Amino acid sequence: MIRAIYPGSFDPVTYGHLDVIHRAAKMFDEVTVCVMYNKDKGDRSLFSVDERVKMIQDVTGDIPNVRVDSYYGLAKDYAAKIGAHVSIRGLRAVTDFEYELQIAQTNKLLSGGSLDTVFLTTSLEYAYLSSSSVKEIASFGGDISVCVPPEIERMVKDKYRELGVTSQS
């Protein structure tokens, strides 16, 4: 039984993340997508951790070996808690590389060598996609239907409406 974790902010989950999740689910027996409390992004998150968990559950419910969870702490501690030895991360462009390499090496070191990182390179059609660009576009009322599944699009629009940000679409 090979368990993997896919930790991240997922604020919100995009087609780019979903592509990584589908591909990882074919490679590992069980993949746990874990919404991490991010101290840096903290208060600047658009969605609460619970909302993000629910959103990912909504769009991965059809993949039997995918679970969704959240964790306040280090990814290596969450991995140890559920007995996972693989962390999945996505790479879009060379700009992701330095940051991702640093996290991967830190996780390896802090876990005493037990947590390895597997990088999945983005599918070309999603190479431009990020949660921050989705938020930027949506906040100005732009069309995010090519970036996120319909149910996520609805939740993003509702959130901006709730926050009083006028959507023009």
Catalytic one among 3, 54, 92, 159? 92
Q: How far is the CB of 123 from ligand ADP (least distance, A)?
A: 7
Of 9, 17, 76, 135, the catalytic one is: 17
Active site residue 3: no
The token pair that represents 62 in the structure block: 């059809």
128 or 161, CB closer to ligand ADP? 128
Catalytic status, residue 17: yes
> Nearer Cβ to ligand ADP, position 48 or 168?
48
Do 31 and 25 form a contact (C-beta atoms < 8 A)?
Answer: yes
Closer residue to ligand ADP in complex, CB, 89/135: 89
- Among the listed residues 3, 22, 23, 41, the single catalytic one is 41
101, HSE (Cβ side, Cα atoms, 13 Å)? 6
CB of 161 to ligand ADP, least distance (A): 23
In the bound complex, what is the minimum distance in angstroms from residue 141's beta carbon to ligand ADP? 22
CB 31 within 8 A of CB 64: no
Of the candidates 67, 61, 71, 60, the one whose C-alpha atom is nearest the C-alpha of residue 35 is 71
CA distance 56 to 167: 23
Q: How far is the CB of 39 from ligand ADP (least distance, A)?
A: 11
What does the alpha-carbon distance between residue 108 and residue 72 come to, in Å, rounded to a whole number? 19
* Residue 92 falls in the annotated catalytic set: yes
Contacting residues toward ligand ADP, per CB under 6 A: 8-10, 14, 16-17, 20, 38, 89-90, 92, 96, 100, 122, 126, 129-131
Tokens standing for residue 17: 């993340």
For residue 8, the SS3 value is strand
- Active-site residue list: 17, 41, 92, 131
